[in-house]
A and B are shown apart, each in its own frame.
Chain A
Amino acid sequence: MDNTYLIIAKLFFLLSLSAFGGGNTVLPSMHMAAVSQHHWMTNQQFLDLFSISKAAPGPSTLIVELIAMKATGFSEESHFLFFSAALGALLAILAIFLPSSLLLLVVSRFWEIFQGMPWQYTIKKALLPITAGLILGSTWIVAKTAIHGWITAAMGLISLIMILRTKINPIIMMLVAALLSRILFKYIPFSDGF
């Protein structure tokens, strides 16, 4: 078996268990491993994969699949190897999701067993305000990259109000906003900045 598979399995296995606070926290380590350490891709390619993972549906942590595809199926010397790429992709998905998922399952089984006990109530009451703080923190971080200028600010605000007040599926709002921004940014000057 090719060494690359082993490297991929080990890399993502370790990152799976160190991704405290979500998948985004280990992106810098992925970048370092894929670009400077193993030379699987250029810096620009990594950035492109990052924007693909943000634009594609599903968990953006699936960027590991793209990294593994490049490493196993599209190496510089050979042309495209479908099965190698598919195998690498599957391996990366299992390595990144399985360890953290098993840990979470064990913990949440205990969590359900202790349902109703005083200490479980304590922990729940204690963690909820912190969770609210963390959610606002990550909202702020998303806002810093997503909100540029008054058009996106207005879109964010309008969608917030619509989500709180109506039952419209956010996907419909996203599609409308995507089409709107395609039109607005093309025809309104200085729309991309305050």
Chain B
Amino acid sequence: MNDQHEERSPLSQGRNISLGQLAKLFFFISLTSFGGGATAYIRRIIVENKKWLTNEEFFSGLALVQLLPGANVVGISLYIGNHLRGIPGALIAACCLIFPASMIFFGLGFLYFYIGELPSIEIMLKGAGAVACGLMASMFVEAAKESLHNLIDIFLFLVSFLLVYAAHIHVPYVIFMVAPIAIWWYRPRASKTISQPSSSPQETQNNYHG
């Protein structure tokens, strides 16, 4: 086995994934993911069904993706591909996510501009939208389980949620407002770095595996 991959994912079963498997799965995701719940859909497939990543690996990737510009779905695919198979994996995951769907977009665009009509899909979308909502909510439940361990976590979570939801502040501003406080709180401290990893067995492995 390749040393690099061993180093990357100590917990998930993702180290034996071939580029072909990655391509096949993201091709499938490209044609079966819809609207708002797409990131949650990817988590469902990659973390729960395939077990290629742990929840912890997925959500720390999502944190990174949210920090940077660009579509979240594409970002998380790049992260997953890179995490499992390095740069080639990232490129394959992103291309297989984008290009099959882009063919369908091209076809729909052609129909719309050429014939000038939309198939009446609005009513059916209502049901699918509700399920997408449930999918997002399930991702929130998992994220909360993964990230909220103490009162300060809950405080940081509530503040970020309220800034987005009630104050309508854009995501990057929220991150730049809340993250410094959070980073300051979790800064490496002589006493804390020793006690921190033992608080969760997952972290212990992850911290010392390299």
A contact residues vs B (CB 8 Å cutoff): 16-23, 25, 48-49, 51-62, 65-66, 69-70, 73-74, 80, 85-86, 89, 93, 96-97, 100-101, 103-105, 107-109, 111-112, 115-116, 118-119, 121-143, 145-148, 152-153, 155-160, 162-164, 167, 169-171, 173-182, 185-186
Q: Who on chain B is nearest to A94 by CB?
A: B98
Q: Kindly list chain A residues whose C-beta atoms are within 8 Å of the C-beta of B156.
A: 126, 129-130, 133
Q: Is the CB of A22 within 8 A of B206?
A: no
Overall SS of chain A's interface: helix
Kindly identify, within residues 136 to 179 of chain B, every residue whose CB is under 8 Å from any CB belonging to chain A: 136-141, 143-144, 146-148, 152-154, 156-165, 170-172, 174-175, 178-179
Closest chain A CB from B59 CB (angstroms): 6
**CB of B62 closer than 8 Å to a CB of A:** yes
Q: How far is the CA of A99 from the CA of B163 in the complex (A)?
A: 28
Q: Who on chain A is nearest to B184 by CB?
A: A126
Interface residue from A57, A74, A139, A155 paired with B140 (Cβ < 8 Å): A139
Q: Is the CB of B82 within 8 A of A108?
A: yes
Interface residue from B78, B130, B165, B207 paired with A159 (Cβ < 8 Å): B130
Closest 5 A-B residue pairs measured CB to CB?
A: A58-B101, A100-B70, A21-B171, A133-B160, A181-B127
Q: Is the CB of A57 within 8 A of B34?
A: yes
Interface residue from B62, B72, B83, B112 paired with A52 (Cβ < 8 Å): B112
Kindly identify, within residues 93 to 119 of chain B, every residue whose CB is under 8 Å from any CB belonging to chain A: 94, 97-98, 100-102, 104-106, 108-110, 112-114, 118
Interface residue from A89, A128, A158 paired with B60 (Cβ < 8 Å): A128
Q: Is the CB of A105 within 8 A of B82?
A: yes
Q: Kindly list chain A residues whose C-beta atoms are within 8 Å of the C-beta of B18.
A: none
Q: Who on chain A is nearest to B117 by CB?
A: A48
Give the residue among A25, A119, A142 with the most B Cβ atoms within 10 A: A142
Q: Is the CB of B8 within 8 A of A69?
A: no
Q: How far is the CA of A109 from the CA of B4 in the complex (A)?
A: 12
Overall SS of chain B's interface: helix
Q: Kindly list chain A residues whose C-beta atoms are within 8 Å of the C-beta of B17.
A: none
Q: How far is the CA of A52 from the CA of B69 in the complex (A)?
A: 23
Q: Is the CB of A135 within 8 A of B105?
A: no
Q: How far is the CA of A48 from the CA of B122 in the complex (A)?
A: 11
B contact residues vs A (CB 8 Å cutoff): 7-8, 30-38, 41, 44, 48-49, 59-75, 78-79, 82-83, 87, 90, 94, 97-98, 100-102, 104-106, 108-110, 112-114, 118, 121-141, 143-144, 146-148, 152-154, 156-165, 170-172, 174-175, 178-179, 182-183, 185-188, 193, 196, 203, 206-210
Q: Kindly list chain A residues whose C-beta atoms are within 8 Å of the C-beta of B157.
A: 129-130, 132-133, 136
Interface residue from A56, A125, A135 paired with B136 (Cβ < 8 Å): A135
Q: How far is the CA of A124 from the CA of B147 in the complex (A)?
A: 10
Q: Kindly list chain B residues whose C-beta atoms are within 8 Å of the C-beta of A127.
A: 60, 63-64, 67, 175, 179, 182
A59-B97 contact given A23-B72, A89-B106, A164-B138, CB 8 Å threshold: yes
Q: Kindly list chain A residues whose C-beta atoms are within 8 Å of the C-beta of B183.
A: 122-123, 126
Give the residue among A74, A104, A148, A155 with the most B Cβ atoms within 10 A: A104
Q: Is the CB of B172 within 8 A of A20?
A: yes
Closest chain B CB from A98 CB (angstroms): 10
Q: Is the CB of A55 within 8 A of B34?
A: yes
Q: Is the CB of B127 within 8 A of A177?
A: yes
Q: Is the CB of B65 within 8 A of A159?
A: no
Give the residue among A86, A181, A182 with the most B Cβ atoms within 10 A: A181
